[in-house]
Amino acid sequence: MPEFGLHQLMKQLGLDIKEMLDTPIRGIAALEDAGPDQIAFAESRRYQEQVQTSRAALVLVPPDFPEMPDRPLLRVENPRLAFLRIAELFVEHPGYSGVHPDASVQPDAVLGDGVSIGACAVISKGVRVGANSRIGPGVYLGEGVNIGADCRIDANASLMPGVTLGDRVLIRCNASIGGEGFGFVWLKDHHHPVPQLGRVVIEDDVEIGCNTCIDRAALGVTRIGRGTKIDNLVQVAHNCDIGEHVVMAAQTGLAGSVKLGTGSVLGGQVGVADHVNIGAGARIGAQSGVIQDIGPGETVAGFPAREKSRFMKEQATLGRLPDTLKKIKEMQQQLEALRGRVAELEKGG
C-alpha cells in the first residue's frame, strides 16, 4: 500500500493544511473503521457523533460542519469528491511489468512506453497499444486492434479485429468487444447469417464491466461515447450508438441500432427494442421494457415503458385491486338484494 505524508497528499489535491502535522497516511476508511494513519470523510452535520469518536488522522467535512477543536478536520466544498480523489492515489495495480515471457506478441505489434502485457495474452498482427496501458493475463487482441494510452484491459477480455479504444478506457474481466452481431435472414426453411462487416469504436474514459458484450456493426460502427459507464453483464447489439456519459446498469440489453442520448441512465435489467431512440438525459427505471422512442429528459418505468408517475399510480392501484374487487362483489350482492326487494314490492302492489 502506498504511503504519503499528509502535507504531500494535500498538495497533490490542491488543498492547504499548513497548521497540521505531516502525519504519514497509509490509506482511507469509513469513519468508524479509520485508524490514526487513515483519512475518512463526513458528508454532513448528521455524522457529528461518528466524527467525534473516529480515530482517523484527518476527517474531510463540509464548510458548515461544527467546530471540533480536538478533532483533525479539513473543510472542503465536497467531502465525498475529495475523498474519492484521495482514494485514487491509493489504488494499486498489481500485474506483470513489461511483456510476460508467456505472452504471444506479433513482431509488427506496436507497444508504447510503459506498456505491460500479462501471461498468456495474445497480441495479433497490426495491434497498437498506447503508452502506459496494461493488458491483463489471457487477453486476446485481434488483428488491427488500436488501444489508446493509459487503458486497462483485465484478464481474459477479448477485443476482436478492428476494435478501437480511446485513452483511459477500462475493460474488465471476460468482456467481449467486437464479436459478430446477431443478424439473420429467413430463407424459406432456415435462418441465414448476415455478415457483420463493421467495427466497434470506444471513446475516451469509458468503463465496461465484466462479461459485457458489445457487438460489432453489420456495416459501419457500433459506438460507445466518451465517459460512458457500462456495468457487468450488459449486451450492446450491432450498430448501437451510445452517447457521452451514459450509465447502463447490470443485465441491460440493447437490440440492434438503438441510440442513447448524452447523459441518459438505464437501470438494471432494462430491455430496449431495436431502432429505438432514447433522448439525452432520459431516465429508464429498472426492468423497464422500452419499445418506442423516449424523449429527452423523460423518466419512464414499466413495460411497456411509460411516464414514471403514471406507472407508479398504476402499481398503487394494482395493490388495491383485491380490496376493490371485494367491495365490487359486496356492491353486486347488495344490488341483487335491492332488485329482489323491488320485485317483491311490485308484486305486492
Question: Using one digit for the tens of pLDDT, what is the confidence trace for 317-330?
Answer: 888 888 889 999 98
Q: What is the mean predicted confidence (pLDDT) over 173-190?
A: 94
Which ranges of the chain does DSSP label H, i.e. alpha helix?
A: 6-12, 48-53, 79-89, 308-348
Residue range 97-101: average pLDDT? Answer: 90
Average pLDDT, the chain: 92
DSSP 125: T
Strand order in the sheet with 27-28: 27-28, 38-41, 58-61, 73-75
Distances (CA, A) of 295 to 203, 226, 263, 289, 308: 24, 21, 13, 15, 13
> What are the cell numbers at 325?
374487487
Report d(CA 180, CA 149) in Å as an integer: 26
Q: Are 38 and 29 in contact (CB under 8 A)?
A: yes
Of 263, 151, 160, nearest in space to 208 by CA: 151
**How open is the CA angle 103-174-241, to the nearest 5 degrees?**
115
Output DSSP code: residue 66.
Answer: P
What positions carry a catalytic annotation?
238
12: cell is 497533490
In the predicted model, is pLDDT for residue 105 greater than 70?
A: yes
Confidence of residue 19 (pLDDT cuts 50, 70, 90): low
Instruction: Determine the Cα–Cα distance for residues 149 and 327; give it in Å rounded to an integer.
Output: 67
Residue 184 has pLDDT above 80, yes or no: yes
Per-residue pLDDT, averaged over 203-211, amounts to 98
DSSP 5: E
Instruction: Please report the pLDDT score of residue 91 as a whole number.
Output: 79
Distance CA 74, CA 54 (A): 14
In this predicted model, which residue has the larger pLDDT, 93 or 332?
A: 332
Residue 266: in which H helix or E strand, if any? strand 265-266
pLDDT at 301: 95
pLDDT number for residue 349: 57
One-letter amino acid of 343: A
**What integer pLDDT is reported at residue 321 of this predicted model?**
87
Q: What is the dihedral of CA 183, 187, 188, 189, to 10 degrees?
A: -60
- pTM of the complete model: 0.82
Cβ contact 304:320 at 8 Å: no
